Structure 1
Amino acid sequence: MRNKLASPYAPPVIIAASIVLISCLPLTNFQVRMATLLFIFSTVVLGKNLLMGYAGQISLGHGAFFGLGAYTVAIGAARYGLSPWLLTAMSLPAAGVIAWIIGRPILKLRGYHLAMATLAFGSIFAMVLTNAVHITGGPDGMALDMAAVRLFGMTPRWSWYWICGGVLVLAMYLLASLLDSPTGREMRAIHDSEIAAGVLGIDVAQAKLRAFVISAVFTTLAGCCFVMFDRYITPQSAGILRSIEFVTMTVVGGLGSAIGSIIGAAIFVVLPQFLTVFHEYEQAILGLILVIIMVLLPKGIAPSLAGWLRSRRASSC
């Protein structure tokens, strides 16, 4: 019997909706920037959803993988003159190897022990970025000159809009394909019950490790896109607060939902722009809105609304 959580990842519907969104959303330069950041962070949250929504693992260290991709491109391009595209291709397998190495021991932990272990990894990485001034630029960060990049003659902002939009669509397709594969079915079984999955002969630890590695690669790819689009990176962009943001985006949007991943990312990208009129109360109001969302929609926005629509449809029949 097909797991009900797999339906939000149906490739034709999601990819068609993504193409429409990517083609029609932005009009101004500001909207282009907001949409591009939305695509980047949605890619991260898709990977986080695989880890949290299916493997049931909480990681507070994914900001480190975001920073790994960003700083690999920034350092290699700015200090050694290497191609950012080559550096991106190199950073993805590197992230996979690092995730595999640290994932093997820490994924044996559960609950808050696992959260603290990943938090420690993220903290150490952020400290290295801040203190290695001669390599990373320290707290001031690093700049990257990508202004000359054009795609089919478009301006750099529009070029990165299409590149990051394409990366998001590709990530959605790959995740949909993964969840329809034997590996994906193992992860869905783990989501329902780890004990039952183990009884059926599924290597639960190995499946969790695969989810962690894939999630880390998605996050690293998004970090590469972020620094090439924004052309600047600081340790703050790869710190603990960034990791917590990724987790919050995933939970608020809804675990096990691709559309929820985009909604969760959109709240953190778009909503703060509307709250700037409140000045010093901006963060407090944003926090209050998030609390209200989680109280009224405890399963996340997308799953809660989908459940409400199903109940309405059933009651009307």
Structure 2
Amino acid sequence: MKNMNWIANYTEQSDFILVGIFSQSNHPALLCVVIFVIFLMALTGNGVLILLIHFDAHLHSPMYFFISQLSLMDVMYISVTVPKMVIDQVMGINKISAPECGIQMFLYVTLAGSEFFFLAAMAYDRYVAICYPLHYPVLMSHKVCLLLASGCWFLGSVDGFMLTPITMMFPFCKSREIHHFFCEVPAVMKLSCSDTSLYETLMYLCCVLMLLIPVTVISSSYFFILLTIHRMNSAEGRKKAFATCSSHMTVVILFYGAAMYTYMLPNSYHTPEKDMVVSVFYTILTPVLNPLIYSLRNKDVMGALKKVLNMGPAFQETIK
């Protein structure tokens, strides 16, 4: 009987408590509804974008292939955190077991790392399309796109496999309360009772490298893109080039800005409240904004959407 009590107590102690954003709100029920609606909007927006790109032949190009991958990533990204957060609020539960925490951390880090590299691949795609239009079908063939996409997913998973096991192996003898709404690495590390300074330095260097490589690719690509646009004689050509690049740059600024705050600023700049607000922005709001940015500012996507909507009445008439 004593052994059973010990196991129960150990299991209880091994659970983490997610303080979450609802405890900081004066109207948690309303906030829960708002977040759930945003979650549904993100699923719908990204799902529609993926289906349009898949079924419309005019969107079967490298640029839209990468956009569809980004939308798939956003669907997974928001699904890692929001469903559990909403269910816990409805059920009145705020615990997460160590294995669940590790899985959530791995998925989140993998998806974030993959998105860093996908945004770089998309910048390279725009560079080739604008600077080398005649060689574009060869340089960005279907095989090359698949290799780039596979490489992005692989590099993101390497980041997840590196950070997650090391973080979860540290002893947690302090409070089990994670001052966050999901198991983010910096938030979990604050609970460790051992010296994590060396690991935090290595993690900082790893994150700098993960950000530096894509940022270098993106900066170089857009430097040459701007040079090419400046040399264009056609005003229409300049306008079209800026239109195709502006959407991508908007997403880059939103995502990288939040990531740099989280992983590159010193601890003195961080508070649990600020960290949660920034995390809400790039884990919940960004997946909603991405399909809007890529669809509302893109004539091809809007044309494909109108075509699908117009097929509805025609299909109904055919049935009649």
User: Could you state the TM-score of these two structures normalised by the residue count of structure 1?
Assistant: 0.28
Higher relative contact order (CA 8 A, sep 6+): 1
User: Could you state the TM-score of these two structures normalised by the residue count of structure 2?
Assistant: 0.28
Please tell me whether Structure 1 or Structure 2 has the larger radius of gyration of its CA atoms: 2
